[in-house]
């Protein structure tokens, strides 16, 4: 016979129904080799102060009696309103036909604490196993029963629950008593781990409202037309939306463009077809700037291990901030183009870059020229300086089979084809148009075994 301890009567009823324990008794269900009983929340709690010393701590509090910490050890007692159910559980734990106990309290530290204290006060000697599920569907119960954990595996969670209980008790008992005596003016001042910071949040917000001084501010809005219709846009300083996520930007990074979102989309589209059943794929983003490409790829495709580089320390600080705020796992290295990758002997399956590609002498809008870092804009006399630099040494940082992806200028097709065919002879590549029908992306499908590298 196996004894299951649930946290609530409703959960016990669900488990018993599925396992066929259909005979109902006072405080438990039985049948088909199982007994299913339950707690009613916390059956066991800590002693009050007066339980330790009734004469000293009953009646009026005295400041000289605090702080209070039990001299020997913390003691526990059964909640008087729940003693009947505790006695039922205790009796079941000591039945001779019980082979082992399955702990089915909630899958968290509070659930562990509830069962731990019941077993402690009931002096349980039977082996305890743990069922870990988040819902009590038939499928989850079956899976949990077939994958029971040993109680020893739950020790850390039990310790966390026990420690929180003791800490809450010490803070609540002592701070409430002392604060009431010193500042209460005859009224009880409840202080606890949860209530105190909650009240402080409410107070701070009330003070903000009370002290609020209205100020005039301005927003910049514009009406825009595109081939898909008209829309109103608002300028938000310091933020830019990219791939449906808000990225922090400043004067040290290039503002992410919607064309670059298409580069990310096309990379994601090609991963499964090109790399098949690869379990992990190594990807690097060179010249990451705000980190928009690297972070978006890391968040969209769980197979990717992503590394990003930039020569600018200031830009990398922005990228690191974005990764932290968006919860992306990306490793960042500072250095000139591929050099930090070479120095660390890294090899990648996917190489991505959106390098500067505006020719030095090309006129650009003043709002761009005056507000965005030139190091991220201009790419030499014809705009391909950084591409050629990458093409010349990228063989040192890619695997035998690799996908190379770049954003490029819409009017650079002829020059780009010449450069690709020079550095990657006989290697398949394609230039892809953006949503506006302009040449915008370069993809190179490199496989060393099939090609000669000159």
What's the token pair of residue 179? 């604060």
Please give the helix or strand (H or E) that residue 415 lies within, else none. Answer: helix 413-423
- HSE, side-chain direction, 13 A CA sphere, residue 384: 16
Cα distances (Å, whole numbers) of residue 136 to 2, 14, 41: 18, 7, 17
Q: Report the alpha-carbon distance of residue 307 to residue 298 in Å, rounded.
A: 9
pLDDT at 279: 86
Query: Can you spell out the DSSP letters for 54-96?
Result: HHHHSSS--GGG-S---SS---EEE-GGGHHHHHHHHHHHT-T
Handedness of CA 51, 57, 61, 64 (dihedral sign): negative
User: Given the DSSP bridges, would you call strands 245-248 and 239-242 parallel, antiparallel or unpaired?
Assistant: antiparallel
**Mean pLDDT, all residues of the chain:** 90
pLDDT at 287: 93
pLDDT at 307: 97
pLDDT at 364: 54
* pLDDT classification of 452: cutoffs 50, 70, 90: very low
Give the distance, in angstroms, between the CA of residue 451 and the centroid of all CA atoms in the same chain: 42
| Average pLDDT of span 390-418 | 93
Residue 363 has pLDDT above 80, yes or no: no
Residue 338 has pLDDT above 80, yes or no: yes
Q: Report the alpha-carbon distance of residue 284 to residue 277 in Å, rounded.
A: 20
Residue 308 has pLDDT above 90, yes or no: yes
pLDDT at 151: 94
What's the token pair of residue 199? 């009240």
| Average pLDDT of span 194-215 | 89
pLDDT at 453: 38
pLDDT of 142-167, one tens digit each?
999 999 999 999 999 999 999 999 99
Share of the chain above pLDDT 90, in %: 69
Residue 342 has pLDDT above 80, yes or no: yes
pLDDT of 206-265, one tens digit each?
999 999 998 887 878 889 887 778 888 776 668 889 999 999 998 888 888 888 999 999
Instruction: Return the minimum-mean-pLDDT range out of 45-49, 178-182, 276-280.
Output: 276-280
Single out the residue of 4, 28, 14, 17 nearest to residue 105, CA to CA: 4
Q: Are 382 and 359 in contact (CB under 8 A)?
A: yes
pLDDT at 273: 86
C-beta neighbour count of 24 within 10 angstroms: 12
Residue 381 has pLDDT above 80, yes or no: no
What's the token pair of residue 14? 């669900």
* pLDDT classification of 370: cutoffs 50, 70, 90: low
Q: Report the alpha-carbon distance of residue 202 to residue 208 in Å, rounded.
A: 10
Q: Report the alpha-carbon distance of residue 12 to residue 17 in Å, rounded.
A: 8
Q: Are 129 and 100 in contact (CB under 8 A)?
A: yes
Q: Report the alpha-carbon distance of residue 298 to residue 288 in Å, rounded.
A: 13
pLDDT at 360: 65
* pLDDT classification of 404: cutoffs 50, 70, 90: very high
Q: Report the alpha-carbon distance of residue 104 to residue 112 in Å, rounded.
A: 9
pLDDT at 365: 53
Handedness of CA 76, 82, 88, 89 (dihedral sign): negative
Residue 129 has pLDDT above 60, yes or no: yes
Residue 362 has pLDDT above 90, yes or no: no
Of 382 and 175, which is predicted with more confidence? 175
Query: Can you spell out the DSSP letters for 217-256?
Result: ----EEEEEETTEEEEEE--TTEEEETTEEEE--TTSPPP
Give the distance, in angstroms, between the CA of residue 147 and the centroid of all CA atoms in the same chain: 26
pLDDT at 217: 77
* pLDDT classification of 449: cutoffs 50, 70, 90: low
Q: Report the alpha-carbon distance of residue 334 to residue 341 in Å, rounded.
A: 10
pLDDT of 163-172, one tens digit each?
999 999 999 9
Q: Are 61 and 181 in contact (CB under 8 A)?
A: yes
Q: Are 11 and 104 in contact (CB under 8 A)?
A: yes
Domains identified in the chain and CATH numbers: 2-161 (3.40.50.140), 239-447 (3.40.50.150)
Q: Are 353 and 292 in contact (CB under 8 A)?
A: no
Q: Are 428 and 401 in contact (CB under 8 A)?
A: no
pLDDT at 378: 60
Q: Report the alpha-carbon distance of residue 8 to residue 85 in Å, rounded.
A: 11
Q: Are 300 and 269 in contact (CB under 8 A)?
A: no
Q: Report the alpha-carbon distance of residue 323 to residue 334 in Å, rounded.
A: 16
What's the token pair of residue 37? 């009983």
Q: Report the alpha-carbon distance of residue 212 to residue 124 in Å, rounded.
A: 60
pLDDT at 27: 96
Q: Report the alpha-carbon distance of residue 353 to residue 366 in Å, rounded.
A: 25
Residue 286 has pLDDT above 70, yes or no: yes
Torsion angles phi and psi, residue 233, rounded to 5: -115, 150
pLDDT at 251: 86
Single out the residue of 350, 315, 45 nearest to residue 169, CA to CA: 45
Q: Are 410 and 439 in contact (CB under 8 A)?
A: yes
Q: Report the alpha-carbon distance of residue 315 to residue 373 in Å, rounded.
A: 10
Residue-level length of the chain: 454
168 backbone φψ class: left, alpha, beta (φ>0; ψ -120 to 50): alpha
Instruction: Return the minimum-mean-pLDDT range out of 104-113, 132-141, 228-237, 421-430.
Output: 228-237
Residue 56 has pLDDT above 90, yes or no: no
pLDDT at 367: 46
| Average pLDDT of span 305-317 | 94
pLDDT at 368: 46
| Average pLDDT of span 415-443 | 93
Q: Report the alpha-carbon distance of residue 224 to residue 258 in Å, rounded.
A: 15
Instruction: Return the minimum-mean-pLDDT range out of 50-59, 403-412, 425-434.
Output: 50-59
pLDDT at 376: 47
Q: Report the alpha-carbon distance of residue 118 to residue 101 in Å, rounded.
A: 12
């Amino acid at each position: 016979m196996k004894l299951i301890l649930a946290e609530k009567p409703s959960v016990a009823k669900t488990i018993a129904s599925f396992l066929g324990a259909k005979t109902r008794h006072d405080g438990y269900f039985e049948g088909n080799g199982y007994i299913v009983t339950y707690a009613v929340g916390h059956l066991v709690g800590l002693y009050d102060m007066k339980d330790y010393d009734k004469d000293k701590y009953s009646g009026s509090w005295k400041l000289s009696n605090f702080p209070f910490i039990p001299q020997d050890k913390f003691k526990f007692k059964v909640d008087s309103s729940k003693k009947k159910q505790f006695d039922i559980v205790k009796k079941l734990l000591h039945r001779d036909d019980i082979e082992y106990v399955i702990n089915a309290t909630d899958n968290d530290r509070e659930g562990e604490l509830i069962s731990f204290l019941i077993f402690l006060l009931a002096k349980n000697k039977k082996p305890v196993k743990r069922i870990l599920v988040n819902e009590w569907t038939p499928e989850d119960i079956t899976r949990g029963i077939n994958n029971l954990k040993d109680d020893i595996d739950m020790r850390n969670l039990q310790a966390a629950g026990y420690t929180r209980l003791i800490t809450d008790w010490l803070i609540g008992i002592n701070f409430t008593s002392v604060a009431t005596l010193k500042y209460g003016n005859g009224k009880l001042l409840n202080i606890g781990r949860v209530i105190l910071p909650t009240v402080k949040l409410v107070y701070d917000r009330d003070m903000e409202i009370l002290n609020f001084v209205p100020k005039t501010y301005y927003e910049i809005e514009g009406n825009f037309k595109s081939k898909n219709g008209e829309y109103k846009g608002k300028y938000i300083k310091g933020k830019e939306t990219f791939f449906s996520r808000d990225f922090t930007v400043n004067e040290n990074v290039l503002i992410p463009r919607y064309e670059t979102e298409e580069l990310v989309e096309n990379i994601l589209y090609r991963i499964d077809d090109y790399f098949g059943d690869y379990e992990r794929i190594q990807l690097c983003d060179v010249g990451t700037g705000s980190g928009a490409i690297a972070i978006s790829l890391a968040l969209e495709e769980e197979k990717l291990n992503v590394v990003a580089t930039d020569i600018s320390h200031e830009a990398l600080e922005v990228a690191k901030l974005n990764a932290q705020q968006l919860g992306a796992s990306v490793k960042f290295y500072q250095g000139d183009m591929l050099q930090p990758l070479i120095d660390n002997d890294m090899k990648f399956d996917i190489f991505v870059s959106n390098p500067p590609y505006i020719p030095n002498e090309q006129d650009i809008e003043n709002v761009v020229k005056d507000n965005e870092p030139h190091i991220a804009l201009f790419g030499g006399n014809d705009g391909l300086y950084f591409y050629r630099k990458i093409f010349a040494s990228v063989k040192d940082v890619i695997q035998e089979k690799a996908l190379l992806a770049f954003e490029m200028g819409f009017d650079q097709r002829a020059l780009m084809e010449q450069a690709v065919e020079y550095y990657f002879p006989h290697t398949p590549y394609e230039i892809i148009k953006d949503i506006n029908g302009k040449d915008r992306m370069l993809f190179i499908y490199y496989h060393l075994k099939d090609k000669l590298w000159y």
